[in-house]
Amino acid sequence: MKGLGADAPYWQALQQGQLKLQQCSDCSQWHWPAVWRCGECGSWEQQWREVTPRGRIYSWTRSHYDFGAPKGLPLPYVSVVVELAEAGNLRLLGHLAANSDKQPAIGMAVEGELFHCEVDGESIPAWRWQPGNTTTEAAQ
Ligand SMILES: [Zn+2]
């Protein structure tokens, strides 16, 4: 299990069902992947803020071949890069829920749910994204 890197708080929060992302205490720049030192202002003071797992699809692709995907992920699967407005448009990688009958589209509102996937016999918490409802899309 990860836990020794700059991203350790991300994984600890995930174990508790929360999405926490890193923000510079001095200049408010969001960081992902996590950093020890801010690349914008040079500060060593980074804080972790809870963020609502809700965003928009920035990019997506459909995979028809199992490139060593987590066990139990049905083919084909859709990988998504989700942009989080609440976290300075930081982007997270994940996949679109297989039970979604909506076609993925750039800009589509999505909400994340936590699940555990199995990779090399290890259970790892990850985000699975569901298309949001249309009222959410209209409101933003
Ligand atoms: Zn900074």
pLDDT, tens digit, 9 for 90 and up, residues 8-21: 999 999 999 999 99
Q: Which CATH class is domain 52-140?
A: mainly beta
Query: What's the mean pLDDT in 19-37?
Result: 97
- Residue 138 pLDDT class (50, 70, 90 cuts): very low
| pLDDT at site 133 | 65
- Residue 94 pLDDT class (50, 70, 90 cuts): very high
Tell me the residue type at 80: V
Residue extent(s) of CATH 2.40.50 domains in the chain: 52-140
Region of poorest pLDDT, from 71-75, 101-105, 107-111: 71-75
Looking at the predicted structure, is the pLDDT value of residue 137 above 70?
Answer: no
Tell me the residue type at 22: Q
The contacts of residue 115 (CB under 8 Å, 6+ apart) are 125, 126, 128
- Residue 51 pLDDT class (50, 70, 90 cuts): very high
Q: Are the C-beta atoms of residues 54 and 110 closer than 8 Å to each other?
A: yes
Omega of the bond leading into 125 within 30 degrees of 0 (cis) = no
Ligand 1: centre distance to CA 84 (Å) = 19
Ligand 1: centre distance to CA 31 (Å) = 9
Ligand 1: centre distance to CA 27 (Å) = 4
Ligand 1: centre distance to CA 43 (Å) = 5
Looking at the predicted structure, is the pLDDT value of residue 83 above 60?
Answer: yes
Ligand 1: centre distance to CA 132 (Å) = 32
Ligand 1: centre distance to CA 48 (Å) = 13
| pLDDT at site 136 | 46
How many helices (DSSP H) and strands (DSSP E) are in the chain? 2, 8
- Residue 32 pLDDT class (50, 70, 90 cuts): very high
